Structure 1
Amino acid sequence: MEAVLRLAVRADGPAVAELARASVLEVFPAYRDAVQTVSAAEHITTLDTALIDDGPGVPLSKASGFTEVEAAQLPMPDSTVLAGVAMERPIEETA
């Protein structure tokens, strides 16, 4: 089966969350203890569907202090081109 790269849709949520959970359970034990691994598998693998619903994530990025620089085209390996937005955020230096 050949993988097809496409934008996620809300119906993909359960499959994406399960893949994330399986990844955490596979990788985390090399770096974290059992309690941290189980906690991560429960908490950080819950899919926030707002990340799917808002397209390129612009509202989330803006809320995190990023500003739009310019539109961007993101070519994928299968020749599909996804619309994106280049964004930037200043680094805050502390003394």
Structure 2
Amino acid sequence: MLRNAVRSDVAGIGALMRSSVLDMFPRFHDELETAAAARYLTEPDTVLIDDGTYFVHEADGDLVACGGWSKRDKLYTGSGALPTDDRLLDPVTEPARVRAMFVHGDWTRRGLGRAILTRCVDAARDDGFRALVLMATLPGVPLYLAFGFREVKRTRIPMPNGVVLAGVSMEYPLAG
């Protein structure tokens, strides 16, 4: 069941995020990078939940996938705290952000990420946005490409402890 996340999901979302990173990242990243991602990319952003733009997929009472989109300036968890993070984006001139997509390792390749992305596309389009952007870590790139996101550029994602992850800046047009 795909539904909007609520505040009582926060602990479960955090556990799902960490589990997903520890399972998926070693296929693409070394031990130090995986540990940094598990520490810094797995803090649930309650602003997304409060905005009603974050979703969870629940199966038999367990959270097995999560992700959402944002109408705010923050691009990804782990990017540090910037003064503009909570600024509302202008849907006419700025793209919405896809944020914090994670799937439990036992639930990959079942369409859960695609279902969350479809929900994000529909909701952002309904709010007047013309495009989505995201900062992908390597485990997510195949899903985003298959969904129709376009690679903008390869980049490096610095973690607060100095470890740097490979990343891909991507975009998806909503107009037309």
Q: Taking structure 1 as the reference length, what is the TM-score of the superposition?
A: 0.64
1:1-27, Cα deviation, whole Å (9 max, x unpaired): xxx322110110110111010010001
Cross-structure match for 2:20: 23
Report the equivalent of 1:73: none
**Alignment partners' CA distance in 2, 1:38 and 1:46:** 14
Q: Measure how far apart 1:38 and its partner are.
A: 0.4
Structure 2 unaligned segments of length 5 or more: list them: 54-68, 74-88, 97-114, 116-121, 132-151, 153-176
Distance in 2 separating the partners of 1:85 and 1:41: 28
Aligned pairs, number: 75
Which structure has the bigger radius of gyration? 1
Q: CA RMSD in A?
A: 3.1
Q: Deviations over 1:36-86 (max 9, x none)?
A: 00000010011110010012355316269237xxxxxxxx7xxxxxx8230
Larger relative helix fraction: 1
**Stretches of 4+ moved more than 4 A in 1?**
none
Q: Find out whether 1:59 has 2:85 as its counterpart.
A: no
Match of 1:10 in 2: 7
Instruction: Pick which of 54-63 and 36-45 moved more.
Output: 54-63
Secondary structure of the residue aligned to 2:3 is coil
Residues 1:36 and 2:33 aligned together: yes
Counterpart Cα distance in 2 of 1:5 and 1:36: 30
Q: 1:84 aligns with which of 123, 138, 141?
A: 123
Cα separation, 1, equivalents of 2:39 and 2:90: 25
Higher relative strand content: 2
Q: Give, as a single letter, the amino acid of the residue that structure 2 aligns with 1:66.
A: P
